[in-house]
Structure 1
Amino acid sequence: MSSLPCCSPARPTRCFRCRAPAQVSDTILSDGSLELPSASTARAARLSRLGRPVRLALLSCSKSKRTRASRAHTLYTGPFFRAAFDVAAAFADELVILSARHHIVEPHQVLEPYDYSFADMRKPERVAWRTRCTTLLRHRFHSHAVECLFLGGEDYQLDWHLLPRWTIRSPIDRVVGVGNRIAALRDCVVKLAIKESGA
């Protein structure tokens, strides 16, 4: 895993914890969610310079949360989320959190605590949630090929068939237990790093 510190000049695309909201060109809605009508010019240019598919980590939010408004990467306190965030951040160019209430969340985005889950949704609402998240992500990455590390359960599955340029990896699919899930995730990231290095 990379030992580069947050905000290292050698790692400009992975500053997920401290990227200030003012640096993001997408519109923040009144409910705190992000409206992502299209990939920003700056993001598009940055991702194009990668010269390879964009590495995206998609994490589901956790039920347990802090009791005060916090940036999303600290708001969610579930043990798998905490460990998965750190592992995924070492792999990803972009990291997005899927939230039952807010749809798509940036790690730096400040949110109030909330108690809302898929258990509170009827089937049409779940379908609408999935459609909206898929649409937002399609616009966000536009024409870029995406290698997606999907770290969510069944409820968080999206309409993958509408993302034809995406390759989906689900290393925790059908893996039981937080420890086992983290081990599976680490193994997946190590294999991807080895594959990329050509070793």
Structure 2
Amino acid sequence: MKRLCIIPCGKKKIWDVQPDAGPVRAEDAYLSPFHQACERYAKTFFDEWVILSAKHGFLRPDDLVSGNYDVTFGTGHPEIMTADELRRQFHEKGFSDIEELVMLGGKKYRSVLNAVIGEHQHISWPLSSYKGIGYMLQALNRAVEEKHEL
């Protein structure tokens, strides 16, 4: 069965440390420790993974991100992609055919993804039982180190 891992982007980006970086691949754009841990986990356990960005939607690792931004789901920011835009993009990128989805994000992503996925799709939230980002980071790092999927 084909699976897709969806990971959150992150506030800290390459342009925060290299303002003149220009457009970069999505997998190189996000620098927060949580994003980096999610990316390592996704690369370890999944053949296909994407980054979910409030501004850009579903980014494949080699999709280009043009520059810095600060847009977060649930904030009412005018640049947040709508559920319709996310659904369209999800379908256009071929993700609507994937039955098993794994989201490595917190609660704020539930309503976003529930509005996007199809009825035939199952989504799991392996970090939902952890009570904070520190515990999530530990779990992700331990899973990668021990080669044991959460």
Structure 1 length-normalised TM:
0.57
Q: 1:180 to 1:57 in 2, by over 3 A?
A: same
1:121 counterpart (67, 77, 91): 77
Aligned residues: 135
* Rg larger for: 1
Give unmatched runs, 5+ long, in structure 1. 1-51, 193-199
TM-score normalised per structure 2: 0.73
Describe how 1:1-199 pairs up with structure 2 within 5 A.
Answer: 52=1, 54-67=2-15, 68-69=21-22, 70-118=24-72, 119-121=75-77, 129-139=82-92, 140-142=94-96, 144-157=97-110, 158-159=113-114, 162-173=117-128, 175-185=130-140, 186=143, 190-191=148-149
What is the alpha-carbon distance in structure 1 between the residues aligned to residue 98 and residue 64 of structure 2?
29
Identity percentage over the alignment?
27
Superimposed CA distance per residue, residues 136-165 of structure 1 (whole angstroms, 9 cap, x where no aligned partner)? 2244134x3421110123333313584122
Secondary structure at the aligned position of 1:190 is classed as: coil
User: Alignment RMSD, CA only?
Assistant: 2.7
Decide whether the 8 Å contact of 2:90 with 2:116 is kept in 1. no
Task: Name stretches of at least 5 consecutive residues in structure 2 with no aligned partner.
Answer: 16-20
Q: Which has the higher contact order (CA 8 A, sep 6+)?
A: 2
Task: Give the Cα separation in 2 of the matches to 1:80 and 1:130.
Answer: 25
Question: Using the alignment, how far apart are the partners of 2:107 and 2:121 within structure 1?
Answer: 18
